[in-house]
Amino acid sequence: MKPAVKVAITGAAGNIAYSLIFQIASGNMLGKDQPVILQLIEIPPALGALEGVVMELEDCAFPLVKGIVATSDINVGFDDIDYAMLVGARPRSKGMERKDLLLGNAEIFSAQGKALNAVAKRDVKVLVVGNPANTNALITMHNAPDIAPTQFTAMTRLDHQRTLSQLSTKLELDHTRIHQVAIWGNHSATQYPDVFHTLVDDQPVIEQLDMDWIEKALIPDVQTRGAAIINARGASSAASAAVAAALHMHDWALNSAQPDDWVSMGIKSNGDYGIDDDLIFSFPLVCRDGEYDVVKGLEINDFSEQRIRLTEKELIEERDAIRHLL
């Protein structure tokens, strides 16, 4: 048996965590041979509800769970952790954009960045799910100067899976045959789902699609899918977000299920494709051996370039709004 790794989950009594914690405990995220110690973090008013989640977790008697910590003290919750799933934050409700959450949620991430810097392992892998995820990840990263910027990521994997699903429905084929989807930019209504490099088996998908569908259906549907779920459910996506979070961390830590296929993650820009290098920006990546690399050298046409610039501009505006926390 491998030694146990420590996984912190914030917002542990919330909707996403109610699914995510059980996925991690059953080995869906880090593998069926990887024992875990779960460090569950909530704000004090939610500790009672968290106690109920812990009781349910105990009742599952998961063989991989080697310890459970439930706390409202982030220095305890982040102590010596290998993985941080930063979920805890307010969700939006009908009629709001994710960036409307920025000022309310931003301070959570400056405090958590400082705590990670103080007590987490130096190679901790951090995934920010709480919205607006990219800018919250930027705040977390800036507040943890002793941890490498590569370790801070934001979730655009749900958008990536949504794009795969839309393509598979449109083309009436199994989505496992679809490769090289890319989400560029912000997890917001300006994100750009790019299918110009996408393959079905080894053929370009673009040959089977018309531009009208891409422009008027695929892109806006992916951009506004979160709002459509809020309208239908009365609450934001939770189970699908948990699946996407587990996939994100799985692929980063253990490599993608389909070797060399692309994933989309918000990462600190290195200036690739001319993107401002002080943003957490979603790029197409390949994960290998616990690390990731931006897919380089893609030809970006005018259609894509315009949309990539638009989502970059929005992220710069978000950064300007929370400059005092960086």
Min dist CB 135 to ligand LMR, Å, is 13
> Which residues fall within 8 angstroms of residue 25, CB to CB, at 6 or more apart?
36, 38, 57, 60, 62, 64, 65
- Count how many residues are written for the chain: 326
Pick the closest to residue 248 from 325, 133, 145, 138 (CA basis): 133
CB of 214 to ligand NAD, least distance (A): 22
Binding site residues, ligand NAD, CB under 6 A? 10-11, 13-17, 41-43, 46, 87-92, 108, 129-131, 133, 155, 158, 187, 236-238, 241
Q: How far is the CB of 11 from ligand NAD (least distance, A)?
A: 3
Residue 69 or 229: the one with the smaller Cβ distance to ligand LMR is: 229
Residue 238 interacts, among ligand LMR, ligand NAD, none and using kind-specific CB cut-offs from 5 to 8 Å, with: ligand NAD
Find which of ligand LMR, ligand NAD, none residue 120 binds, CB within 5 to 8 Å per kind: none
Instruction: Among 6, 98, 160, 268, indicate the residue that binds ligand LMR (CB under 6 A).
Output: 98
**Helices 239-254 and 157-171: angle between axes, nearest 10 degrees:** 110
Cβ 22 to ligand NAD shortest distance, Å: 14
User: Is residue 182 classed as helix, strand or coil in its secondary structure?
Assistant: strand
Secondary element (H or E) of residue 154: strand 152-154
Nearer to ligand NAD by C-beta: 14 or 113? 14
Residues within window 135-174 making contact with ligand LMR, judged by CB under 6 A: 158
User: With respect to ligand NAD, which residue has the nearer C-beta, 36 or 74?
Assistant: 74
CA distance 265 to 27: 21
Residue 181, both tokens: 């989807």
87 contacts which partner out of ligand NAD, ligand LMR, none, CB within 5 to 8 A by kind?
Answer: ligand NAD
Q: Does 237 bind ligand LMR (CB under 6 A)?
A: yes
Site size toward ligand LMR (CB under 6 A) is 10
Nearer to ligand NAD, 114 or 177 (CB): 114
Nearest 5°: phi and psi at 174? Answer: -65, 135
Catalytic residues: 187
CA 88 – CA 18 distance, rounded (Å): 12
Query: Least distance (Å) from ligand LMR to the CB of residue 178?
Result: 20
**Residues 83-92, buried b or exposed e (16+ Cβ, 10 A)?**
bbbbbbbebb
Q: Give the SS3 label for residue 97.
A: coil
Half-sphere exposure of 108 (CA within 13 A, CB side): 25
